[in-house]
Chain A
Amino acid sequence: MSVPAAVLALLEGAVTPVYDGEVPLNDKGRPTSDRYAVLYADAGTRNSDDLPLTADRHVYRWQVTSVGEDRRQAEWVAVRCRDALLDQPLTVAGWELTPVTHESSSVIRRDDDLPGDPLFFAVDTYSLTATR
């Protein structure tokens, strides 16, 4: 299992549905659910400045977009996701992982650029370092 897959699994245990990088839309272009979380994860980065020390050291960053039909619901999703990521250590076989760091949290915004009623969303970013 990769680090992004492990993150996705944790989120799936916290809220339903959780999407992996893509939000399913109906034929009008509106998300098929009014309450969900989306994981946008990178594939990890390496720093080659100090190859012997960093060859097996990867930094993973990801964003969780938490969506609801009002601000309170978006906040609820965001808190559920945050608690899932921070309350227990993430484990991936073959890797030693640092605890997850909550890097940033944005204000909850209203998305009016949708067919039908607006949705509200919160954005949180996280990171960890994985070594093997």
Chain B
Amino acid sequence: MRIDTTELRQLEHDLGRVSERAAEQVRKTMQKAAFNIKKDMQAEAEGSKHFPGMPASISYETWEKRDEIAAEIGPEIGRRQGSLGFIAYEGTARNGPRFPDPQGALDREADAFEAYLAAAIAGDFL
């Protein structure tokens, strides 16, 4: 799942490197978006007879590389029923997925994420 921030990164490139203050805002924005998507996915996974442990298995993790901040959100192997995530979200040869495609949760967060990200970067130059 990806949110396309190409234009924002181009803006950043055009304006020069962002300051540490803006970078911190971007970090916070990513954390908040990942948290919101996690909560959304947990809500969608509630009430399953076959996967009662799935909501609690959904977690998120963010990390940074030199010029990248990324997040991974979904069922976590090691948590109860976390290793069954691929069955719950993709199904099997006989059964379909039990929960909605997580892309929906990502899309619902995309507009707010992009707006806050733009504010974090643009705000640095005002």
A residues at B contact (CB < 8 Å): 21, 23, 25, 29, 31, 38, 40, 42, 45, 47, 49, 59, 61, 63, 65, 67, 103-104, 106, 109, 111, 113-114, 119-121, 123, 125, 127
Contact = CB atoms under 8 A, between A and B. Distances in A.
Interface string B81-121: 00000100011111111001101100110010000000000
A40 B101 CA distance: 11
A45 B104 contact: yes
Interface residues of B, number: 16
Interface of B: 86, 90-97, 100-101, 103-104, 107-108, 111
B107 A59 contact: yes
B94 A63 contact: no
Is the contact region of chain A dominated by helix, strand, or loop, or is it mixed? strand
Given A45-B104, A49-B111, A63-B101, A123 B94 contact: no
B103 A125 contact: yes
B101 A23 contact: no
Contacts of A49: 111
Contacts of A103: 101, 103
Nearest to A24: B94
